[in-house]
Structure 1
Amino acid sequence: MSTEIKVPTLGESVSEATIGQWFKKVGDHVEQDETLVELETDKVTVEVPAPAAGVLQEIVVKEGETVEVGALIGTIGEGEGAGDTASSEATERPSGKANEAAASSGSGGYGDESQSDTQDSEQGGSKSEAKGGASLTKVVVPSAGESVTEATVGTIFKKVGDTVAVDEALLELETDKAAQEVPSPVAGVIRELAVSEGDEVKVGALLMKIEDGASGGSSRDGSGSAVANRSPEGANQNSDAPARGDKGGEAEGSSRPPAPSARKMMAENDMSADKVTGSGRDGQILKGDVLEAVSRAAPSSPQETPKAAPQRAASAPDESAREERVKMTRLRQTIAKRLKSAQDTAAMLTTFNEVDMTATMEMRKKYKDLFDKKHGVKLGFMGFFTKAVCHALKEIPAVNAEIDGNEIVYKNFCNIGMAVGTDKGLVVPVIKDADRMTIAEVEKELGRLARLARDGKLGVSDMQGGTFTITNGGVYGSLMSTPILNAPQSGILGMHKIQERPMAIGGQVVIRPMMYLALSYDHRIVDGKEAVTFLVRVKESLEDPERLILDL
């Protein structure tokens, strides 16, 4: 019987850490609560103690690798250990990130994986098997959170026969929460693909098999006969993808190959890695770097402009110019269900007001340079709106509540969701405890979440726990709208375009920068008086921002 060693909770805003140092090696005896490993986050260094006494049986994640909270990093077995001499039976498992750690051995395609396969794979994304003298590692669907049990296969970046490096992206999985790339747990050659793009798979299902340490070509069984590279019928072969045996044109001076999306765009534009400056970790080339290089090269090198995207297959030959049929992504299906459910469930109503943005804009203009210099972040409008909303929620708690059966749950904290539009759909990352933050802290956290949203790297924890939502249609030019509630919340504030309009002030007509505000609310909880009062309080705080400082 073995005891699992997992990454502990590291705080609300910390979702991953880096293995700093292992203080024990495989085979060493450990006492309960004895320090095993050191984890490094962007905020603090944490020591992980042994959950039980025994022998360090397995190290799943090596030093320098990144792990997520809750991921398996090692196991402790029973026994006295061998001191400084590693047990001959204990093995150190090759691994990339923790959620790609190996699971127990098994066989078969993803449709007939054993129950133990599924249970073990929920702690990781691979497992090994020996076949014909070659060591094959199974890559399976990793666990993506307690509420996520299945995913849709998105882009497959590799094909059978491709050489892959440790942690190199193999394919993309789409869930109803977000999209995530599955990296390779080992270096080797892909020998089998068990899925194709668009397939729906459950956690623990087989995705592909990789021959450990191979360098291309076909593998051979024990008798010396060639084992053909095989793929289930219909599996995506990605024949247009460039060969990856040379790490796909790794940029000079970079220790990481280009990101899959960047690699694809480079191939489409006949652009080599030496023409692109990577801005990612360890100099990795990202999609934005390629876009920037393409835009720079466009005036002088017409041949390097982006090629036209290939046309999709039409629904019918005679309607090719009239319509096309595209399957909805899992994320888009979930958005549609949630929005329709909110309409069907809540007694939704919208009330409007308008706010004179003169005072807020003048304060922002006066202090934006000093603010940026001191806090290292630009002063935008969202910091003001977030604080104004938190101030109003404290006065009108019904707008910060939700219905649970026959009870109303009032929240004594403000977790503000910020609706962000991405190329894959609408996501709502949450600023936790925004009422306890300064405007600078709100702007920093919003910037961090917005970057994760654009890069498709938002975690499930980043989008959970919201009590109220703000959506800003003004960035797209919207003058007025009626936003839909983000269930089970009872309120959502819609911001809109700031537009100069003639206003009657003190008996005179003056031009002022005005913005329409819209509050959609659940009339089952919030009365009209409360909704209007809430919106007026937001308006007052923005027209006289000193009220926020004085808590008036």
Structure 2
Amino acid sequence: MTIEIKVPVLPESVADASIATWHKQPGDHVERDEVLVDIETDKVVLEVPAPDSGVLQEILEQEGATVLGEQVIGQFVVGAAAAPKADAPAASTPAPETAPAASGTDKSDVVTPSGRRAAGETGVDANGVSGSGRDGRVHGSDVKAAATSGGSTAASEPLVNLGRSEKRVPMTRLRKRIAERLLDATNSTAMLTTFNEVNMKPIMDLRKTYRDVFEEKHGIRLGFMGFYVKAVCEALKRFPAVNASLDGDDICYHNYFDVSIAVSTPRGLVTPVLRDCNLMTVAEIEKGIRELAIKGRDGKLTVDEMTGGNFTITNGGVFGSLMSTPIINPPQSAILGMHKIQDRPMAVDGKVEILPMMYLALSYDHRIIDGKESVSFLVTIKEMLEDPTRLLLEV
């Protein structure tokens, strides 16, 4: 029995999608629920599993093709046996005429679109990667595996590709969407950034004291993000304009606290939403962020997890950033940038002390938020972080 492989029903906000990666090729045997193909939208990656055990008969839309919801992209035969491989004859059998092209130094004709994208993201020379696909085709998974193992030609022969060369890699749909939103935020908001700094020693001492018992009880490490989110929620309660958004000529004030957390993934920076943060404990916040980060890394985030959010926190400090001016995530009115914690000499009661200091940056839409509110909001976060007891007492 032959079954049509179709693109899943796309969310209302998504007009079309593109074929990211075919994990199987025509003639390959597939087990039930094994992933056949990844469909990439400007928000998430959708996996299309095999409807039953059988063989992928035909691919109708190749990688990189633009497709619509419920469009037929392949044919699948239920219960069929795998087709014989083209290289099944003994070693004494002459190789096909096309074999040298696949095994030569220039393999650009067998590098798939996903392979080219992965090459651009990882810096690996796809021409030096052994392809696992049919006829030696190099897929994105092959390039990423080579990047992890360091087994590419670029890594083992660094002098081969020196020179004035260029490489063009198509932008992924997510990267295009990120670019559009960033440009829109820059052009359509009156964005301004204010800075402050916070002494992280109280929280670092607190973490050192309760780190082991916290992990033993809750099954997760006590990080900094739980404190950041709790401090932000308390500040948002005091300054409703920062928790608001513009809708035409109206200002919409939200009486709930959904915080977007910037997460770096192989596909780009995404901002999944942690909902009702004001009702969560530090442990629940840490678990929620970890789950979102894992889903983002594996491309499992849903559209619902990617939409909404009233305020964004981005932590460039994990990559070593000392200071930055984050860009607002529309239609939100503000975003908080956390940075690297670094020991600096500070004046304390007339004496110089070495303290772990961190810069805070709040970018905000000046159309909604006045300078006094933005500065007071940031000072509130500073005070909460420098005296964590205030987070518990809400004072």
TM-score band w.r.t. shorter chain: 0.7 to 0.9
Alignment equivalent of 1:454, drawn from 297, 312, 317: 297
Give runs of aligned pairs for residues 311-350 of structure 1, distance below 5 A.
321-350=164-193
Alignment equivalent of 1:402, drawn from 237, 245, 253: 245
Q: Give the letter aligned to residue 536 of structure 1.
A: V
Task: Give secondary structure in 1 for the equivalent of 2:229.
Answer: helix
In structure 2, the partner of 1:419 is 262
Task: Give secondary structure in 2 for the equivalent of 1:417.
Answer: strand
In structure 2, the partner of 1:162 is 28
Q: Give the letter aligned to residue 300 of structure 2.
A: K
CA root-mean-square deviation: 2.6
Q: Give the letter aligned to residue 289 of structure 2.
A: L
Q: Give the letter aligned to residue 181 of structure 1.
A: E
Unpaired segments ≥5 residues, structure 1: 1-134, 219-233, 244-259, 270-286, 292-304, 312-317
In structure 2, the partner of 1:496 is 339
State, as a whole percentage, how many aligned pairs show the same letter: 51
In structure 1, how many angstroms separate the alpha carbons of the residues matched to 2:143 and 2:53?
24
In structure 2, the partner of 1:307 is 151
Give runs of aligned pairs for residues 238-253 of structure 1, distance below 5 A.
240-241=131-132
Task: Give secondary structure in 1 for the equivalent of 2:177.
Answer: helix
In structure 2, the partner of 1:196 is 62
Task: Give secondary structure in 1 for the equivalent of 2:132.
Answer: coil
C-alpha displacement of 1:320: 7.2
In structure 2, how many angstroms separate the alpha carbons of the residues matched to 1:310 and 1:240?
15
In structure 1, how many angstroms separate the alpha carbons of the residues matched to 2:153 and 2:315?
31
- Residue-by-residue CA offset, 1:470-512 (whole Å, 9 max, x unaligned): 0000001100000000000001000000011111111111111
In structure 1, how many angstroms separate the alpha carbons of the residues matched to 2:11 and 2:69?
10
Task: Give secondary structure in 2 for the equivalent of 1:189.
Answer: strand
Structure 2 residue 40 is matched with structure 1 residue 174: yes
In structure 2, the partner of 1:524 is 367
Structure 2 residue 305 is matched with structure 1 residue 439: no
CA 1:327 to 1:310, structure 2 compared with 1: closer, same or farther past 3 Å? farther
In structure 1, how many angstroms separate the alpha carbons of the residues matched to 2:333 and 2:165?
41
C-alpha displacement of 1:356: 0.6
Give runs of aligned pairs for residues 112-261 of structure 1, distance below 5 A.
135-217=1-83, 240-241=131-132
Give runs of aligned pairs for residues 358-373 of structure 1, distance below 5 A.
358-373=201-216
In structure 2, how many angstroms separate the alpha carbons of the residues matched to 1:549 and 1:503?
27
In structure 1, how many angstroms separate the alpha carbons of the residues matched to 2:150 and 2:29?
27
C-alpha displacement of 1:191: 1.9
C-alpha displacement of 1:180: 2.5
Structure 2 residue 393 is matched with structure 1 residue 545: no
In structure 1, the partner of 2:124 is none
Instruction: Check conservation: 2:258, 2:274, Cα contact below 8 A.
Output: yes
CA 1:366 to 1:150, structure 2 compared with 1: closer, same or farther past 3 Å? same
Task: Give secondary structure in 1 for the equivalent of 2:392.
Answer: helix
Task: Give secondary structure in 1 for the equivalent of 2:70.
Answer: coil
Structure 2 residue 371 is matched with structure 1 residue 505: no
In structure 1, how many angstroms separate the alpha carbons of the residues matched to 2:152 and 2:38?
23
Q: Which has the larger radius of gyration?
A: 1
CA 1:242 to 1:324, structure 2 compared with 1: closer, same or farther past 3 Å? closer
C-alpha displacement of 1:181: 2.2
Structure 2 residue 375 is matched with structure 1 residue 535: no
- Residue-by-residue CA offset, 1:101-123 (whole Å, 9 max, x unaligned): xxxxxxxxxxxxxxxxxxxxxxx
Give the TM-score of the pair, scaled to structure 2: 0.82
In structure 2, the partner of 1:100 is none
CA 1:319 to 1:208, structure 2 compared with 1: closer, same or farther past 3 Å? farther
In structure 1, the partner of 2:103 is none
C-alpha displacement of 1:521: 0.2
C-alpha displacement of 1:321: 4.1
C-alpha displacement of 1:310: 7.8
Task: Give secondary structure in 1 for the equivalent of 2:328.
Answer: coil
Instruction: Check conservation: 2:21, 2:140, Cα contact below 8 A.
Output: no
In structure 1, how many angstroms separate the alpha carbons of the residues matched to 2:354 and 2:163?
51
CA 1:414 to 1:212, structure 2 compared with 1: closer, same or farther past 3 Å? same
Structure 2 residue 250 is matched with structure 1 residue 384: no
- Residue-by-residue CA offset, 1:184-204 (whole Å, 9 max, x unaligned): 112222221101111111111
C-alpha displacement of 1:395: 0.3
C-alpha displacement of 1:306: 4.4
Give the TM-score of the pair, scaled to structure 1: 0.59
In structure 2, how many angstroms separate the alpha carbons of the residues matched to 1:337 and 1:197?
23
C-alpha displacement of 1:182: 1.4
Which protein has greater RCO, CA pairs closer than 8 Å, 6+ apart? 2
Alignment equivalent of 2:315, drawn from 472, 483, 499: 472
Task: Give secondary structure in 1 for the equivalent of 2:51.
Answer: coil
Q: Give the letter aligned to residue 308 of structure 1.
A: S
- Residue-by-residue CA offset, 1:396-427 (whole Å, 9 max, x unaligned): 01001000011000011110111011111011
